[in-house]
Structure 1
């Protein structure tokens, strides 16, 4: 993570947690303001002038957003927990090319895996036995070939994909699209 002040880190986390403020709108804020702290402290009228809805600006200073940011900061203090941001050299280069790439990536484990060749495997949570066996076999083959197997963290095909790679000492990346607090 680039060297930023604790206040700037908290501001980025708070912006990230705001409702209705996705990657594109967050980019708009970062283009208009020199940093997240400035964006967070700007008047709501400045946000409206950027075309951002009131639902983004209103909760900026809420207790809930502050508490959730504090929880994220506490999570980051744990060993092997990382936060990769758009402007971080460790942010995955190919992901950064997407117009709506996630502004923040919370990583537990080896963040360098995100730069290695990967193949994503997804499928049903209620897969048939044959489907699970195919996923296991395919993931084993991919891992033996040097690929990082990427999947969600759900039961079914996701779990079989991770297990297949691990069976042959391969590496996996679990993508939690709903965040750390809400596993599916």
Structure 2
């Protein structure tokens, strides 16, 4: 019972710390999720993080909320999902309320506008970093790279809806695997881990 309670507190506290710095949406959480769950706790790897954010993007609702719910449920069941969800929502609600007041009072203040200009630039950096980290486990070969590039072009040029892009990605992924199997080409579903320097392979 104590270990379960401790796990719920840990889940709540991790997302409580993450939520205030996820300006710009859920994808800005990825570097923080990586730091807390991959490096510190070692509960997840980057492939798990990529899968969780892919699911969070396809499910209805905010990505940050969905991500917290998925991770909380994975490690603590229903109570874990509730603890993680409370952790990500509680500070966000408080911060939004304060920001709303500050925005009304200082919306024409040059320092306030300059601060948000810097925050928006930092958010772009966070999302770019997240994209690079996810690409390490998502772009496995030429076919996945071409699929990624094609989806970027479709969204930039034809303004393809993100949800449609996700479903098309799933459809093309199934097609690529089927075609490769029929042609006798080896199918890679995970990136091959290179042996660490100083250690013998095998």
TM-score computed with the length of structure 1 as normaliser:
0.26
> RCO greater where, 1 or 2, for CA within 8 Å and sep 6 or more?
2
**Structure with the bigger percentage of helix:** 2
Higher strand residue share? 1
Decide which structure has the larger Cα Rg and report it. Answer: 2
Could you state the TM-score of these two structures normalised by the residue count of structure 2?
A: 0.24
